[in-house]
Structure 1
């Protein structure tokens, strides 16, 4: 047992070190999307893998020292995007930040407080130093559509544009991706106009040099409102926290097939340690729930994925703030929840391969595949030389190996998304159908089958050569 534990922690140290390699801030401040492609690119012409974390209250509740602790933790685990809000949800207009500063004078978006935004500056700059991009929400949605929460509604199309221009100019050359919305849909023509005005303001301020998307409510999708708008560079949907086994691959597949082609991702799936449907008596989502959501979405065509932890987004500390929706873990402990590590394993497997070549391809799965919590998903490279297939409950996979026609000799192995380790299965010709049976099965015992061109330089991730 001791030897096994020593091996695991040695492996963990190596993989975390690889994940924590920094990308130069200049490359992160110039993200872009190639025409008709479904992934993001860095300024150094390398693919950008979006691995996000929801840190909505980051600017509002943490000191610089605490923010530094959090950002270092996320960088070490392989996260690449930190989603945070300038005008925060919880009394963000009337409760000051950790330094006693409010963001606006008289709740007027045209009168930002310099000292407050200097703190935002510091966090964004520190994130960039650590190789992280900030997914910056100008405001939480209750400030323009108070369906619930504190509000008040302070935005009009006119002041939204001026506020957007102010932020766009301020963060023009920073590692920032803009996320409008904030858990609200733009209900009504005035709110649609307001969002478009804010987007126009940001583009005016930054010269249109940064990417932009929209974060909607649960079970909603930015494509339903703004897909044809030129300012919306990629789509974001929220599968939300209402149920286990939420089929986020359905929206992912729908967005993947839209024209014009735009990348898409699940920007708020079920959070680790969040009560199911906000009801603690129904239990809490665990690391399997977040893994299932991530692999379902990614293999259905995601350009990346956002993880979330219920105690992290609100930075829960009972000594400072009451728990929101039955939060139960101090945020500093929640940072090291199992699911956070496991998102890094996902990224590492993807980046060990030419992952931007992957296309969703369910037809390679030949076995019966019920549309339940054990639903299997697969993606095949457009070069027909590798595939990934995910089986959430460890059910056997029968794969059409003839689809890998560019690779006469195939190497198959299991990737364990729970600990990031791999196990060799064997080599096979690229003919016929082949059943692959995992070493263990049952709900939560998930596996990723990898089949590579045996002669490819990236074949056999994690296997001993």
Structure 2
């Protein structure tokens, strides 16, 4: 039986999240923006059971959803607001939201709840909308949600893929945050999901209601320098935890917005999509698709650069897209088939490694790497434990590394190679703790990424990831 998920707090050093009793919480989220809006209860149960089994800890979903969530009914024919009025929530719609939150809690999952997608607050970037919020009704809607879910395990996520473009927009989000805080009596953490290539800290780091930062490195390119966002937030004062809330999704076309003519040109659409509205011709997207390799690269680069958490996403799953439905972004398969994609299976291995060596002790430490370290597809990210018990270095293409051994406490250093594809840990030798040493990974090339684990030879009795 799953352990009930905790009500979360910020750690005393403001570097990670933790439960009320002080246990570090590993933020490993799945992106399910349309969960409340699209799935029925059988489908919801199937989805949540799958994600719990794969080791996810957070499920991110939107109450007033992106895809015409105010006017298109949910699976039971219910819309969230009566007459598009935030002061008139539809009880039957929220009975289904209640079910999702309760089922997630039964399975040990925390809901990362977005009260609304950003197009209901601002029309600056289009979207289904319509804009319905102002400071007054945003505060009351926040208070309604806060009170309703006061005793449930969740995190509030404002923003919904939008930036703070004006003072009135800031006042609306600020009012919603204050409403949430009054309704739940401060029981839950609050963060903010910005537009791509941005971080919440740009506008909100000094807001007292923002408990931790969240950034979106987006879907622009492979080997995106996601670590720049993590380090930016990590170095801010006063310190606050930060997480990667939207990296490139598995199976989404690289730079997908460049290929928008699949929507507007009927002939192109016929060539690109099949009769189930799934991608017929992947070659139309000339820059290819993000895959499990990209997921691993971005996850490790983030987590070794100061982020205390990471969100995985799949292009079909965030939409909860069924065969025959209209996609927001074309998909390779439907949401059920996408649940078991390689990247979704491998996130549990990331979690296993970081829990086996207490990730809460880690701090970014590029000085583990000796010699040049170019910012390209071979770039190595490293972190060391504040007590010197271990260090991790991620090699995205399995190139050799010269590592500084003196970062580790104790007279001898034990080394391991951790395989991010299968979770196996291979011994890499033991050394006197002085100077530096060269390590050659077991394999190299695209898709042959490795994590070098250096540790005090007397500190651990199990291999990394065990």
Distance 1:95 1:365, change over 3 A: same
In the alignment, the residues of structure 2 paired with residue 123 and residue 24 of structure 1 have an alpha-carbon distance, to the nearest angstrom, of 15
Q: Note if contact 2:11-2:22 (Cα within 8 Å) is conserved in structure 1.
A: no
Residue 392 of structure 1 corresponds to: 396
SS state at 2:459 partner: coil
Paired residues, what number? 438
Residue 17 of structure 1 corresponds to: none
Confirm whether residue 195 of structure 1 aligns to residue 198 of structure 2.
no
Task: Decide which of 218, 225, 233 is 1:247's aligned counterpart.
Answer: 225
Residue 8 of structure 1 corresponds to: none
Q: Note if contact 1:36-1:260 (Cα within 8 Å) is conserved in structure 2.
A: no
Post-superposition CA distance 1:323-349 (Å, at most 9, x none)? 222212111110000001111100000
Post-superposition CA distance 1:213-266 (Å, at most 9, x none)? 000000011000110011100000000001111101001001000011100011
Task: Decide which of 346, 350, 355 is 1:351's aligned counterpart.
Answer: 355
Q: Note if contact 2:391-2:454 (Cα within 8 Å) is conserved in structure 1.
A: yes
SS state at 2:8 partner: coil
Task: Decide which of 52, 63, 67 is 1:75's aligned counterpart.
Answer: 52
In the alignment, the residues of structure 1 paired with residue 366 and residue 310 of structure 2 have an alpha-carbon distance, to the nearest angstrom, of 20
Task: Decide which of 141, 148, 166 is 2:144's aligned counterpart.
Answer: 166
Q: Note if contact 2:416-2:425 (Cα within 8 Å) is conserved in structure 1.
A: yes
In the alignment, the residues of structure 1 paired with residue 38 and residue 410 of structure 2 have an alpha-carbon distance, to the nearest angstrom, of 53
In the alignment, the residues of structure 1 paired with residue 42 and residue 457 of structure 2 have an alpha-carbon distance, to the nearest angstrom, of 48
Task: Decide which of 109, 115, 119 is 2:96's aligned counterpart.
Answer: 119
1:442, distance to aligned residue in structure 2 (A):
1.0
Confirm whether residue 23 of structure 1 aligns to residue 3 of structure 2.
yes
| TM-score, with length taken from structure 2 | 0.92
Residue 429 of structure 1 corresponds to: 432
Post-superposition CA distance 1:368-427 (Å, at most 9, x none)? 2110122100001111121000000111111110121x2212110100101111111111
Any stretches of 5+ residues in structure 1 without a counterpart?
Answer: 1-20
Task: Decide which of 64, 80, 84 is 2:61's aligned counterpart.
Answer: 84
Task: Decide which of 55, 58, 64 is 2:41's aligned counterpart.
Answer: 64
Confirm whether residue 272 of structure 1 aligns to residue 275 of structure 2.
no
Q: Note if contact 1:400-1:433 (Cα within 8 Å) is conserved in structure 2.
A: yes
Q: Note if contact 1:156-1:194 (Cα within 8 Å) is conserved in structure 2.
A: yes
In the alignment, the residues of structure 2 paired with residue 407 and residue 122 of structure 1 have an alpha-carbon distance, to the nearest angstrom, of 51
Matches of residues 249-398 of structure 1 in structure 2 within 5 Å? 249-278=227-256, 279=259, 280-319=285-324, 321-398=325-402
SS state at 2:286 partner: helix
Q: Note if contact 2:215-2:246 (Cα within 8 Å) is conserved in structure 1.
A: yes
Confirm whether residue 223 of structure 1 aligns to residue 201 of structure 2.
yes
In the alignment, the residues of structure 2 paired with residue 285 and residue 263 of structure 1 have an alpha-carbon distance, to the nearest angstrom, of 27
Q: Note if contact 1:353-1:458 (Cα within 8 Å) is conserved in structure 2.
A: no
Q: Note if contact 1:411-1:459 (Cα within 8 Å) is conserved in structure 2.
A: no
In the alignment, the residues of structure 1 paired with residue 12 and residue 209 of structure 2 have an alpha-carbon distance, to the nearest angstrom, of 14
Residue 131 of structure 2 corresponds to: 153
Confirm whether residue 446 of structure 1 aligns to residue 446 of structure 2.
no
Task: Decide which of 411, 415, 439 is 1:412's aligned counterpart.
Answer: 415
Any stretches of 5+ residues in structure 2 without a counterpart?
Answer: 260-284
SS state at 1:32 partner: strand
Post-superposition CA distance 1:271-326 (Å, at most 9, x none)? 0000000042211100001110100000001111100000000011123x212222
Distance 1:458 1:153, change over 3 A: farther
Post-superposition CA distance 1:70-112 (Å, at most 9, x none)? 0000000000000000000011001000000000011011110
1:443, distance to aligned residue in structure 2 (A):
2.1
| TM-score, with length taken from structure 1 | 0.93
Q: Note if contact 2:355-2:465 (Cα within 8 Å) is conserved in structure 1.
A: no
**What value does the CA root-mean-square deviation take over the aligned residues?**
1.1
In the alignment, the residues of structure 1 paired with residue 371 and residue 335 of structure 2 have an alpha-carbon distance, to the nearest angstrom, of 42
Distance 1:66 1:461, change over 3 A: same
Confirm whether residue 210 of structure 1 aligns to residue 188 of structure 2.
yes
